[in-house]
Structures are given as C-alpha cells and as structure tokens.
Amino acid sequence: MSTASLLLLCSSLSLVAVTADEQVAGPCSPRTCGNVTISHPFGFVPEQETDTKCGRLGFEVHCSNSTPYLGYYRRKYRFQVLDIFYGNGSLLVADVHKLEDFKNSSSKGCHVMTANTSSKVGLPFSVSPVNLNLIFYNCTAETAAVAAARRDSGLLETKCSGGTTLVRVAGHYNDSDSYEQYMVEGCGATLVPVLGPSSGEANASSYEQLISDGFLLTWQPPSEKP
C-alpha cells in the first residue's frame, strides 16, 4: 500500500472514531429534571430510558418522577442529585437510600446501615473534604467502652430500638488522622459524609435531615481530545 493510501486510510479511521465519540458523549442542550439543570459534562437520561447520547461517560443523570439521580451506580443505590455547581466542578447529592434503614416499614426493619457511603463513590467523582463525618454505630451490647463513648464523645441513640444503635458527628471527611480514632470497642461503624450547616456545627440528633440535605462530590474536568 502506498504512503498516500495509508495516510488516507488513517484519516478516515480517525474521522469515524471522532464521529462515534461525538454521538456517544457529545454536548447537548441543557435539560431540567425537577429544579436541577442538567448540562455538559452531564447527560440527561429521560424516564424509562437507560442511556443517553449526551454528556461524558460516567456523568449520566437519570430523571425519575422529576427527581434526578446520578446514574453511574446501580439503580437501587444511586445518589439523588440536589444541585450541580458547574463553576467549581462539584455537585450536591444525597445518599437517600440510607434513610430506608431507619424505617420500621422496610423489609429489614429499623437498623443502622453497614456500608460506608464512600463505597458507592468512584471516578470521575470524589468526596469533597468540606464534608463532615456522620458516624453510625451498631453495638453488640452496652459495654463499658460504649458507656464511655456516650459520655466523652457525645454518642446519641437513633430511633432504632435497643439502645445500641448510636450516632455522632466527628471531624471532616478526609481528615489525615486514621479513622481508628472514631472506632468504639464492641461496635461496628459506618461513615456517611454530610455537608452540615454553614456554621460548621452539625447536631447528630438531626441525622436524618443531615443525610437528606446531602454532601458534596467533586469531579475532575473531562480531558478534551486534541
């Protein structure tokens, strides 16, 4: 094959690749879901649809009953999108499925969750360091360590019965210190990031409202193809 023919073939293949990329992840006109505007790099996925030709990979937002959900995770565990801040690459989301754990009407009954919210966060997103740690404890019994933690660390009971499902707010989400400082002997701990009030002082007794009010995720700007 001649050099000219080879160059022509390469150019054609490049054009096909670019065209395919634009069809799958190109910018589209802004859309709204509830009170949230969905715009590039996010892609709007309408009700009953499973995919979109807009936005970047991993930035799909599914609109269900006028409520937007960040759709890169499994449907049952998606984050509800409360707001998107395009200027600084962040969005306010809520791990609303955690609230189901406190409802006696749920299939499992009232109990403290066991999975950290961070287990649902993956690239291109990360948990912002401005969030606070909302820590839930599932304790096997009212041990001396639990009693001391109640007294010294301000652990509060949740609405779940038994008196050994406890909660507190402690430090910022990405503190450089080990999370071992938040552990309590005889208890399992689950961390949920919460943004908390602008004053920076969050009341652990309002744990359901703190979860509903959400936390900040940040994203890296998508790299542009040359």
Considering the domain architecture, whether residues 171 and 127 belong to the same structural domain is answered as yes
Considering the domain architecture, whether residues 92 and 190 belong to the same structural domain is answered as yes
User: Per mean pLDDT, which of 79-83, 152-156, 219-223 is the most reliable?
Assistant: 79-83
C-alpha dihedral sign at 69, 72, 73, 74? positive
Considering the domain architecture, whether residues 30 and 123 belong to the same structural domain is answered as no
Considering the domain architecture, whether residues 43 and 100 belong to the same structural domain is answered as no
Considering the domain architecture, whether residues 21 and 104 belong to the same structural domain is answered as no
Q: Of 151 and 9, which is predicted with more confidence?
A: 151
Task: Give the residue from 72, 100, 134 where a domain finishes.
Answer: 72
Q: Of 8 and 84, which is predicted with more confidence?
A: 84
Q: How confident is the model at residue 135 (pLDDT cuts 50, 70, 90)?
A: very high
Considering the domain architecture, whether residues 110 and 135 belong to the same structural domain is answered as yes
Task: Give the residue from 24, 43, 72 where a domain finishes.
Answer: 72
Q: Of 192 and 73, which is predicted with more confidence?
A: 192
Q: What is the mean pLDDT of residues 44-73?
A: 80
- Residue 51: per-residue pLDDT: 66
Residue 141 forms part of a structural domain = yes
Residue 137 forms part of a structural domain = yes
Instruction: Extract the runs of DSSP E, i.e. beta strands, from the chain.
Output: 31-33, 36-38, 43-45, 60-64, 67-70, 79-85, 90-94, 125-127, 132-139, 156-157, 165-172, 187-194, 215-219
pLDDT digits (tens, 9 = 90+) for 84-116: 999 999 999 999 888 888 876 666 667 778 888
Q: What is the mean pLDDT of residues 173-193?
A: 79
Considering the domain architecture, whether residues 215 and 103 belong to the same structural domain is answered as yes
- Residue 177: per-residue pLDDT: 57
**CA-wise closest residue to 30 among 51, 9, 44:** 44
The string of DSSP codes covering 59-110 is: -EEEEETTEEEETTS-GGGPEEEEEEETTTTEEEEE-GGGGGGG-TTSTT-S
Lowest mean pLDDT among 5-19, 72-86, 145-159, 207-221: 5-19
- Residue 27: per-residue pLDDT: 66
Considering the domain architecture, whether residues 117 and 29 belong to the same structural domain is answered as no
Residue 205 forms part of a structural domain = yes
Lowest mean pLDDT among 9-23, 113-127, 140-154: 9-23
Cα distance between residue 114 and residue 149, in whole Å: 20
Question: How many structural domains does the chain have?
Answer: 2
What range does the domain containing 45 cover?
1-72
Q: What is the mean pLDDT of residues 113-127?
A: 87
Considering the domain architecture, whether residues 20 and 49 belong to the same structural domain is answered as yes
Considering the domain architecture, whether residues 192 and 139 belong to the same structural domain is answered as yes
Q: How much of the chain, in percent, has pLDDT values that exceed 70? A: 73
- Residue 74: per-residue pLDDT: 58
- Tell me the pTM: 0.79
Q: How many helices (H) and strands (E) are present in the chain, helices listed first?
A: 3, 13
Lowest mean pLDDT among 48-57, 60-69, 153-162, 164-173: 48-57
pLDDT at 180 > cutoff 50? yes
Q: What is the mean pLDDT of residues 154-158?
A: 87
- Residue 200: per-residue pLDDT: 67
